[in-house]
Amino acid sequence: MSEAVSPSPDQLYRHGLRLLLAKDVPSWVALWAEDGVMEFPFAPPGRPARLAGRAAIAAYMRPYPDHIDLHDFPDADLRIHRTADPRTIVVEMRGVGRLVRTGDPFDMTYIAVVTVENGRFTSYRDYWNPLSLHDLGTDFAGSSR
């Protein structure tokens, strides 16, 4: 009997992006370790800076597709850098789509430091731009991000 091979961090990350584009948030959350931690180092006051555990991450992400309709993470803007730690990658990417409430374009660049263990996300530090909050509208920016 052969042992299942866990995906590499970059394979898991790319799979996660496909799930987000498919608006399959429950399957994206299922990629997380039960005790995974998502952090937002640049979170402004009143916004979460740290989500501890899969349940907290699920609650945070659940309304995302109701506010941001992602259309693409363009390959030309997706760069995945391996680090000295084989469990950790640094990702540069761009998400494009539209804001559901207004129909306005959504276009944001991200840098993330992601650690994967046993085929699950265990740490995700999302260095998103908090200055873009005004573009997201108060419904999502004020309550869920």
Report d(CA 115, CA 32) in Å as an integer. Answer: 10
CATH number at residue 52: 3.10.450.50
Q: Could you give the number of structural domains in the chain?
A: 1
| Burial profile 13-48: b = 16 or more Cβ within 10 angstroms, e = fewer | bbebbebbeeeebeebbebbbeebbbbbeebeeeee
What pLDDT does residue 130 have?
Answer: 77
Burial class of residue 102 in the structure, from the number of CB atoms within 10 Å of its CB (0-12 exposed, 13-18 middle, 19+ buried): exposed
Report pLDDT digits (tens) over 50-82. Answer: 999 999 999 999 999 998 999 999 999 999 999
Query: Does 135 map to a domain?
Result: yes
Closest C-alpha to 99, from 131, 136, 130:
136
Report pLDDT digits (tens) over 74-106. Answer: 999 999 999 999 999 999 999 999 999 999 999
Report pLDDT digits (tens) over 3-31. Answer: 677 899 999 999 999 999 999 999 999 99
Query: Does 117 map to a domain?
Result: yes
Query: Does 1 map to a domain?
Result: no
In this model, does residue 2 exceed pLDDT 90? Answer: no
Which two tokens mark 2?
Answer: 């052969």
Report helix, strand or coil for 55: helix
Residue ranges making up the domain that contains 75: 9-143
Kindly state the helix (H) or strand (E) to which residue 18 belongs, with its residue range: helix 9-21
Query: Does 90 map to a domain?
Result: yes
Which two tokens mark 50?
Answer: 């740290």
Query: Does 61 map to a domain?
Result: yes
Tokens 């699950």 belong to 120
Q: Model pTM?
A: 0.87
What pLDDT does residue 99 have?
Answer: 92
Query: Does 4 map to a domain?
Result: no
